[in-house]
Structure 1
Amino acid sequence: MKNKKFKGILASVMFASAVLAGCSSEEGTGLGEAADGKKASYTFRLADNQPADYPTVLGDEKFAELVEERTDGRIKIEVFPSAQLGDEKSVLEQVQLGAIEFTRINANPLAEFNKDFSVLGLPYVFESEDHLWNFLESEKATELLDGLEQSKMKGLAYYDSGSRNFYATKKLKSMEDLEGLKIRVQQSEINIDFLSALGASATPMPYGEVFSALQTGIIDGAENNLPSIDSSNHYQEAKHVLLDHHQRTPEVLLMSDTIWDKLDEEDQEIIKQAALDSVETQKAEWAKWEERSEKKLKDEGVTFTEVKDIKPLQDAVKPVVEKYSKDYQDIMDAIEEARP
């Protein structure tokens, strides 16, 4: 087993080295300039685990379109949806190596690489979409993206991910119905503690395994935004949604810092601005999909229960919020200042 693991790591490193040595489509002196003195052309890859028509993928494609347009076709970014290049964890590892140049990922797993991101996953800290985006457009939120460089990743922009809610194969008429249920969560200490505070049993597992786990009863439910419940077909097994809007954790568009550092300043600026300019397209697509998903789920017989009073929930998770925010008071202050 150790020998196989070593060979796998060696293969990844060799592949990353090949990418760094020859990601230009023209034979040249390396990243930045082709042999004839002209700026080199590149074809990069962007990994996304969502389906091709999902709002984050449409944002990815807008980003790729803008980069190609602004470099007169010199830099092309091919978008690979539906986890074609691997699950989130393996893709992140390859981004760090430079074997994959770009990815889009939810901010929650990024807390493993930069603890500051854990604040964005705290339950009930953002009271609305306006509150969230006021913060994401702040200087402090930009600092969070920049802080990923220490983990060999370059944060480019935030994408919308709506609010996360619970859904289950069993009836959910109130938060008390979550007690004792096995709920799938992303791999995050905050999520595990959060679910425990509500009396549920947190069950971390890859996103791609959730549908079969719902079918077989390995889990009783999960938590996610409505478009994800729709696109994943989880609603076919889990017919009950509890709208508590417990998290409004954004998505993050990332680039390998290894590749970023090899580009010249002009290309860096083009890529960064294209990422920021793709945000409005992604947000607009998100709003349309969210409305469409809610209608579809209701038409498919999914029941919705809105949690109208979140004060008891905020009280229940207060120890969790305090535990994970005590060392990040500056970020919490910025979140408070962003309230509409």
Structure 2
Amino acid sequence: MRLLTAAVTTVALTLGAQIASAAPIEIKFSHVVAENTPKGKMALKFKELVEERMGDEVSVSVFPNSQLFGDDKVLEAMLLGDVQMAAPSLSKFQKYTPSLQVFDLPFLFNDMAAVDRFQQGETGQELLNSLNKRGLVGLGYLHNGMKQMSANQPLRVPADADGKKFRIMTSDVLQAQFEAVGGVPLKKPFSEVFTLLQTKAIDGAENPWSNIYSKKFHEVQPYITETNHGLLDYMVVTSAEFWNGLDDDLRVEVKKALDEAIAYGNQISQEQDAADRQAIIDSGRSEVIEITPEERQQWVDAMKPVWKQFEDEIGSDLIDAALKSNEG
């Protein structure tokens, strides 16, 4: 009887192990924006591609709108294995590597074409590896677009920002940027921005058109100044432990699906930028202010000293390489 029981137990354990090994690897993809944004659509496209091609081996669960983690906590959660993939804004990596602060410098890139040239060039690709020593793996850049300034009152020149409270991401560069024009920067989670604006706990914020429209910031901010003063892009990232733990062949296929999803998201970003800008204008809820070249130059002159302030942290060679991307 004991031999029979032992045999049954062995068979049960073997079958259990086989079933367990057959269970798909789960990728929890956490992000903080709505599903109808470029990032939201990219994440869903990634899920679709992975499950279409590797559904018996990998499953993807997407958690938008900070349902799982906010950007301030997601990288820590990733290192603990609680989430496998995320796409935080580039500002969120400051405490992991100072070099990525280059993307926060105001008026550094002329347009998104320059951003793309820099990110896809040798220097930009090297920056994806700058997180390796901290246990993270950069997998690709995702665009959202150039940032605009929204406020309770019109902002035409830097003096208009004096004394006003602006929500910023957790970034020392962005803090210095608003301090340079006399503003009061407040580091707050993205999930709180609408309420902060609605209750007038803050006076304004900086966001690309897709964030302003998808999160309805234009409904609680009467003025949006088209400054294109900075960049809000993301890095799709995972943990080295998870990524290196995948079988080589499977890792190649997941990366291929992700690259396709990112390309899709970047195309959506380009199309949605103009569409969301027009939708905001058509809503009549917020006035879009187009400043003159002379007014814009005042913002440039006021904020450009921030470059020098962070030159030693970021590296002058990195700033120079970013500037060269404007040459085409």
The TM-score normalised by the length of structure 1 is 0.85
In structure 1, the partner of 2:81 is: 98
In the alignment, structure 1 residue 251 sits paired with structure 2 residue 234: yes
In structure 2, the partner of 1:306 is: 290
In structure 1, which of residues 227, 233, 239 is the aligned counterpart of residue 216 of structure 2? 233
Q: CA contact under 8 A between 2:213 and 2:280: conserved in structure 1? A: yes
Counterparts of 1:189-208 in structure 2, within 5 Å, are 189-208=172-191
Counterparts of 1:1-340 in structure 2, within 5 Å, are 28=17, 35=18, 41-71=24-54, 73-301=56-284, 302-309=286-293, 310-327=296-313, 328-339=315-326, 340=328
Larger gyration radius, structure 1 or structure 2: 2
Partners of 2:182 and 2:320 in 1: CA distance: 29
Partners of 2:21 and 2:76 in 1: CA distance: 32
Consecutive aligned runs of 4 or more in structure 1 exceeding 4 Å deviation:
35-40
Task: Provide closer, same or farther for how the CA distance between residues 36 and 215 of structure 1 changes in structure 2, counting only shifts above 3 A.
Answer: closer
Instruction: Calculate the aligned-residue CA RMSD, in Å.
Output: 2.1
Q: CA contact under 8 A between 2:35 and 2:64: conserved in structure 1? A: yes
Q: CA contact under 8 A between 2:107 and 2:304: conserved in structure 1? A: no
Partners of 2:16 and 2:239 in 1: CA distance: 22
Task: Provide closer, same or farther for how the CA distance between residues 297 and 313 of structure 1 changes in structure 2, counting only shifts above 3 A.
Answer: same
Aligned length: 309
SS at match of 1:238: coil
Which amino acid in 1 is paired with 2:306? V
Partners of 1:317 and 1:333 in 2: CA distance: 17
Alpha-carbon offset, residue 292 of structure 1: 2.4
In structure 2, the partner of 1:11 is: none
SS at match of 2:155: coil
Q: CA contact under 8 A between 1:117 and 1:144: conserved in structure 2? A: yes
Alpha-carbon offset, residue 149 of structure 1: 1.8
Task: Provide closer, same or farther for how the CA distance between residues 37 and 97 of structure 1 changes in structure 2, counting only shifts above 3 A.
Answer: closer
Task: Provide closer, same or farther for how the CA distance between residues 314 and 173 of structure 1 changes in structure 2, counting only shifts above 3 A.
Answer: closer
Q: CA contact under 8 A between 1:97 and 1:258: conserved in structure 2? A: no
Determine which structure has the larger helix proportion and give its number.
2
SS at match of 2:228: strand
Partners of 1:71 and 1:94 in 2: CA distance: 25
Q: Percent identity?
A: 25
Q: CA contact under 8 A between 2:78 and 2:238: conserved in structure 1? A: yes
Residue-by-residue CA offset, 1:26-54 (whole Å, 9 max, x unaligned)? 965xxxxxx59988631221011111222
Task: Provide closer, same or farther for how the CA distance between residues 56 and 240 of structure 1 changes in structure 2, counting only shifts above 3 A.
Answer: same
Alpha-carbon offset, residue 99 of structure 1: 1.1
SS at match of 1:161: strand
Task: Provide closer, same or farther for how the CA distance between residues 27 and 270 of structure 1 changes in structure 2, counting only shifts above 3 A.
Answer: farther
Alpha-carbon offset, residue 264 of structure 1: 2.0
Partners of 1:128 and 1:298 in 2: CA distance: 21
Q: CA contact under 8 A between 1:59 and 1:282: conserved in structure 2? A: yes
Partners of 2:112 and 2:16 in 1: CA distance: 47
SS at match of 1:156: strand
Alpha-carbon offset, residue 318 of structure 1: 2.7
Task: Provide closer, same or farther for how the CA distance between residues 217 and 63 of structure 1 changes in structure 2, counting only shifts above 3 A.
Answer: same
Alpha-carbon offset, residue 286 of structure 1: 1.5
Alpha-carbon offset, residue 157 of structure 1: 0.9
Q: CA contact under 8 A between 1:174 and 1:305: conserved in structure 2? A: no
Partners of 2:20 and 2:275 in 1: CA distance: 50
Q: CA contact under 8 A between 2:168 and 2:186: conserved in structure 1? A: yes
Residue-by-residue CA offset, 1:75-107 (whole Å, 9 max, x unaligned)? 111111111102111222111211100111111
Residue-by-residue CA offset, 1:251-291 (whole Å, 9 max, x unaligned)? 11111222112112222222223222222210221223222
In structure 2, list runs of 5 or more residues that go unmatched.
1-14
